[in-house]
Chain A
């Protein structure tokens, strides 16, 4: 049991060191009262975004460059992993006045 846990940690460290240079993080982006916050956030490829919709309305997080298009049902959270670097402007297709920026480092 103990050995197994140690091996897992070693494996994770090794894997982390070789495959992913930085620890993959989880970033929360909240939509509430038709406002996206934070309005601008930095992330890295491999990070997970938790899209949290606190409204009773459906929203989307739609990248202007077509990189992603996440649909968020009312009061639901959806996660997605960032796969491509770039400064991505995104908006809600249903309420295009909801806009924000995601800066994704390689």
Chain B
């Protein structure tokens, strides 16, 4: 439990810290890149879960994640195309991707019920961290109204995922 909370807190402070370290709030092209990257990360985690999870609720949850995050990212791509914005890689995206690939490797070593629990616990922590970043950093920084709107929808979706993950976690105990 302590480890999980620490991981979530660390992810959150890295998310906001990296953006703040640039001395200015993230730009719309950077925000678009961060949001898209956050979705890609969760899709990769879900694909691993579909091949590794043993519990049917965990598998179903992973399928929900792929479906929703792909839908959000499709909307994001459509929007950046419409706005003629090119998503711009940045330190926050890089940090997120690095952390995610480490986590994927760590989870990859687990199996059975231990894997199921660790995946779902990480989903709770990850969505919590992303929601924190959306609320405190990305949404307030977004200048384009449509981008801000999409991020706000994203926040509601991910808050739903966090609650869903918490339910699944509670049932695994």
Where the two chains meet, the residues of A that have a C-beta atom closer than 8 Å to any C-beta of B are 33-35, 56-58, 74, 92-98
- A69 to B102 Cα, complex, angstroms: 39
Say yes or no: A95-B161 contact (C-beta < 8 A), given A33-B153, A33-B156, A34-B153: yes
Would you call B71 an interface residue if the criterion is a C-beta within 8 Å of the partner chain's C-beta atoms? yes
> Are the CB atoms of B160 and A34 closer together than 8 Å?
yes
- 9 smallest CB-CB distances across A and B, nearest first, come from A95-B160, A34-B156, A96-B163, A97-B160, A56-B71, A97-B159, A94-B64, A57-B68, A57-B71
A-B contact pairs, 17 of them (CB 8 A): A33-B156, A34-B153, A34-B156, A34-B160, A57-B67, A57-B68, A57-B71, A94-B68, A94-B160, A94-B164, A95-B156, A95-B159, A95-B164, A96-B163, A96-B167, A97-B160, A97-B163
Contact partners of B64 in chain A: CB under 8 A: 58, 94
> Are the CB atoms of B160 and A58 closer together than 8 Å?
no
Residue of A nearest to B159 (CB): A97
* Contacts A58-B64, A95-B164, A96-B160 supplied; 12 other A-B pairs, CB < 8 Å: A34-B156, A35-B156, A56-B74, A56-B75, A94-B64, A94-B68, A94-B160, A95-B156, A95-B161, A96-B163, A96-B167, A97-B159
Contact partners of B71 in chain A: CB under 8 A: 56-57, 74
Would you call B7 an interface residue if the criterion is a C-beta within 8 Å of the partner chain's C-beta atoms? no
Q: How far is the CB of B96 from chain A (nearest CB, A)?
A: 23
Residue of A nearest to B155 (CB): A34
Would you call B110 an interface residue if the criterion is a C-beta within 8 Å of the partner chain's C-beta atoms? no
Would you call B41 an interface residue if the criterion is a C-beta within 8 Å of the partner chain's C-beta atoms? no
Where the two chains meet, the residues of B that have a C-beta atom closer than 8 Å to any C-beta of A are 64, 67-68, 71, 74-75, 153, 156-157, 159-161, 163-164, 167
Residue of A nearest to B153 (CB): A33
| Interface of B: prevailing SS | helix
Q: How far is the CB of B131 from chain A (nearest CB, A)?
A: 11
Residue of B nearest to A33 (CB): B153
> Are the CB atoms of A57 and B157 closer together than 8 Å?
yes
- A34 to B164 Cα, complex, angstroms: 14
Contact partners of B164 in chain A: CB under 8 A: 93-96
Q: How far is the CB of A93 from chain B (nearest CB, A)?
A: 7
Q: Which of A56, A74, A98 contacts B160 (CB 8 A)?
A: A98
Q: How far is the CB of A32 from chain B (nearest CB, A)?
A: 10
Contact partners of B159 in chain A: CB under 8 A: 95, 97
Q: How far is the CB of B92 from chain A (nearest CB, A)?
A: 25
Contact partners of A57 in chain B: CB under 8 A: 67-68, 71, 157
